[in-house]
Structure 1
Amino acid sequence: MSTNQSSPTRLIALLSLGHACVDVYQGAVAALVPFFVSERAYSYAAASGIVLAASLLSSVVQPLFGMLTDKWAMPWLLPVSTLVGGAGVAFAGVSGSYALTLAVVAVSGIGIAAYHPESARVARGVSRGSHTAMGWFSLGGNLGFATAPLLVWAVMATGGLHASPLLIVPALAGMALCVAALRGVGAPAAATVAALASRATGRDDWASFLKLSGAIVCRSVVFVGLGAFISLYARQRTGGGDVSGTAALFVLYLGGAVGTVAGGRLATRHGRIPVVQWSYALTILAVAGVVFVPGPLLYVFIACTSAGLYVPFSLHITLGQDYLPRRVGTASGVTLGLTVSVGGIASPLIGAIADASSLRTALAPLIALPAIGWLLLCTLDEPESLEAATGRPLTTAQPTPVTDTASHP
């Protein structure tokens, strides 16, 4: 189908669903941790090392993919990286070897790293500067995260870790969605996104971009740290079993669905910087509730934490792209990938503290991180949009554009 036959709404829907299929595998790694602990008797530190393996290599190579997409349009990365990301997680439970498990999970991280810069660049072009449309694209990833615990639990129920090859199914679906979306966008339109970014008249504001990235790192450590251990922590604090732990992880991920959509709409009304600042401020109280409030009320604070962490999620992406108008791929790779996955580097430290003391003690320092992020964000100003910097929308498509008052694509 040509670009003129594919509306931006349809393309955003396809990209969002493809994003969901990819980010299933980011959420699946954390969802597998309790099963590695129960079936292989891994310590907290050893189990969190698997989360680190998924994050560390991804964090290193993600900016490289971003720089490559700044130079060349590489839409083929979307279906290929989707398959690689899924295959790594699918084989994580096949071998009892810890080293092999780390290796295949690291391969999955590379696939995820390759996907995000190019997909964010293409989505920004299709969205034509709409915060809401980018929110829907980000929502897809959040829903992938949210469904990962349920998907992993269902697969593990069929045969434990040895059933993990069944986890390849979302990757196959994601490949098909990516191919359909790229046919709608068209190669010329995809290439134009990179070409227009290279003509941006604004200068790259590295100082603001680095402050934004620092705030996202703080968010990442909180989110990944809770993602790795909230299932085990909920079992302790509520006295429940596997179901209570899976429910806690599901709430942590699903709350992001509400937060991401709300973030795009709030930014349209109030501006991106104020919305991001208030989100980080409110997250401080929500994380404190997760750490200190026992019983079923814990789930309320998990939901509030999730919403607070995700309201600014899509806004991080567009702010980063606007701070670096000449390096859209690099900005996308950092804001959507590097600073998201880098939180996994802190997971082994959290696990080591938990082994030495308790999970509650290990999670308590996470309360301070949204405060640090808020302080960094208080020094930022609203940047000129990339569309204004280029003097034209980031797409060659002719159909009716997605607007900030659009409904679900």
Structure 2
Amino acid sequence: MPTEHPARPASRARPERHASRPSRGGPVTLLSLGHSCVDVYQGAVAALVPYFVAERAYTYAAASGLVLAASLLSSVVQPLFGALTDRRALPWLLPVSTLVGGAGVALVGISDSYALAFAAIALSGIGVAAYHPEGARAARAAAGDSHTAMGWYALGGNLGFATAPLLVTAVVATGGLAASPLLVLPALLGAVLCATALRRAAPTGRGAGAGGATGTGGMPEAGESDWRSFLKLSGAVVCRSIVFVSLSTFVSLYVRQRTGGGPASGTAALTVLYVGGAVGTVAGGRLAARHGRVRVVQGAYALSVFAVAGVVFVPGPPVYLFVALTSAGLYVPFSLHITLGQDYLPTRVGTASGVTLGLTVSVGGLASPLVGALADATSLRTALAPLIALPALGLLLLRGLPEPGARPAAAGSGEDR
């Protein structure tokens, strides 16, 4: 695998601009909207935590255990789905997994049993896990020669995260947890969008192959795998994941404590965390087109150290500013993690997607109950303080990470850019 790729040739700049915004009704747009619908269910789990604490008197550890339920099976299952999609394309997974993800969250409030709630959220986690490797492969095939187009696809998922607290509040704050079956509606819409995207993409041949090994379907041409760089990148994503999932789980409760506000103040903080991420994702793609993916990712991790410290230590309303900065720092590298991982393992695109979107991200859910247990024993502020060190550790792992070089345009679509 090539090491440093200096400046992008001017001849490559024009395709990046043309591909920067998906065409209305095109496969990337539809996949992005479908991604939004499925990622509602990742954001919904954290958004439900305050309602479990209030309505069912769960401890912090018990409530964060539900976040664990969404992550536990996903952390194992998602790379397996990624390896499976390396062997053959499974486009039908997109609508089916969206429905499964929605059904799990919809079932979470129909019983007072903690075990059933845990099982329902675990089911949702499996659905979300099954979606992402195939979704990332299909989006990369449809996006063309552009970081930014992949940024738009990732934006869809982040918008799903951002709208989850508002959707959960609208449904659960008015009808209680028993109204959770209404939360299945985004899944129904998402399944339709994914099916439509696949139907429109089929005539072009994109997404028809298993991706990565042959250079067909817009995927990178086969090349030498750089496992060392991939593992370093994966370690950094683990650090980012623990910070993000822990803040997603507890920032609503924490900001209510720091500002003395009611439920609305907590919902606002969670919304800022997610909406800021939506903006950061698009910015990340544009910045990478100018400065390179590795440099942008390193800068984002550096920003996160400062921003997380502000969330933990700055009192009162200014905490919202630091929540927004944290969101930007955590989300600017989001789509870049995906494409870097795919380019470090060009013959195992599904596996790379499953790890960067699944295994490493899900580790955050595995760590969340530990943060909850520490908060029960001490305080939320004490439990969140160690999160400051994790982006710094991620930055150390990213030092010396090579920028994958451009592949000859004649060999494929140049998708790695």
CA contact (8 A) 1:192 1:394 kept: no
| Matching residue of 2:377 | 356
CA contact (8 A) 2:221 2:412 kept: no
| Matching residue of 1:17 | 33
Distance 2:410 2:68 in 1: 39
1:158 to partner: Cα distance: 2.5
CA contact (8 A) 1:197 1:328 kept: no
Structure 1, 91-100 or 198-207: larger mean CA deviation: 198-207
The match for 1:166 among 182, 185, 204 is: 182
Q: Within 5 Å, give how 1:263-282 maps onto structure 2.
A: 263-282=284-303
Identity %: 72
| Matching residue of 2:214 | 196
| Matching residue of 1:118 | 134
The match for 1:65 among 58, 81, 104 is: 81
Tell me, yes or no, if structure 1 residue 230 matches structure 2 residue 276.
Answer: no
Q: Aligned to 1:375, what secondary structure does the other structure show?
A: helix
Q: Aligned to 1:204, what secondary structure does the other structure show?
A: coil
Structure 1, 61-70 or 155-164: larger mean CA deviation: 155-164
Distance 1:394 1:274 in 2: 20
CA contact (8 A) 2:88 2:209 kept: no
Gaps of 5+ in 1: 1-6, 396-403, 405-409
TM-score by length of 1: 0.92
CA contact (8 A) 1:113 1:337 kept: yes
User: Alpha carbons of 1:156 and 1:264: their partners in 2 closer, same or farther (altered >3 Å)?
Assistant: same
Residue type matched to 1:136 in 2? W
Q: Within 5 Å, give how 1:10-409 maps onto structure 2.
A: 10-186=26-202, 188-192=205-209, 194=211, 196-197=214-215, 200-385=221-406, 388=408, 391-393=411-413
Distance 1:127 1:273 in 2: 20
1:190 to partner: Cα distance: 1.5
Q: Aligned to 1:35, what secondary structure does the other structure show?
A: helix
CA contact (8 A) 1:200 1:389 kept: no
Distance 2:172 2:79 in 1: 34
Distance 1:22 1:196 in 2: 29
Distance 2:71 2:79 in 1: 13
1:193 to partner: Cα distance: 5.7
CA contact (8 A) 1:139 1:261 kept: yes
Residue type matched to 2:355 in 1? V
1:11 to partner: Cα distance: 1.4
CA contact (8 A) 1:222 1:343 kept: yes
The CA deviation string for residues 189-219 of structure 1, in whole angstroms up to 9 with x for no partner, is 3223625358834211111000000000000
The CA deviation string for residues 138-180 of structure 1, in whole angstroms up to 9 with x for no partner, is 0000000000000000001231000000000000000010011
Distance 1:131 1:224 in 2: 25
Distance 1:201 1:190 in 2: 16
1:388 to partner: Cα distance: 4.1
Q: Aligned to 1:192, what secondary structure does the other structure show?
A: coil
Distance 2:409 2:370 in 1: 42
Gaps of 5+ in 2: 1-20
Distance 1:104 1:24 in 2: 15
The CA deviation string for residues 220-259 of structure 1, in whole angstroms up to 9 with x for no partner, is 0000000000000011000001000000000001101110
User: Alpha carbons of 1:91 and 1:208: their partners in 2 closer, same or farther (altered >3 Å)?
Assistant: same
Distance 2:254 2:336 in 1: 30
The CA deviation string for residues 42-95 of structure 1, in whole angstroms up to 9 with x for no partner, is 000000000000001001111100000000000000000000000000111111
CA contact (8 A) 1:126 1:394 kept: no
Structure 1, 51-60 or 339-348: larger mean CA deviation: 339-348
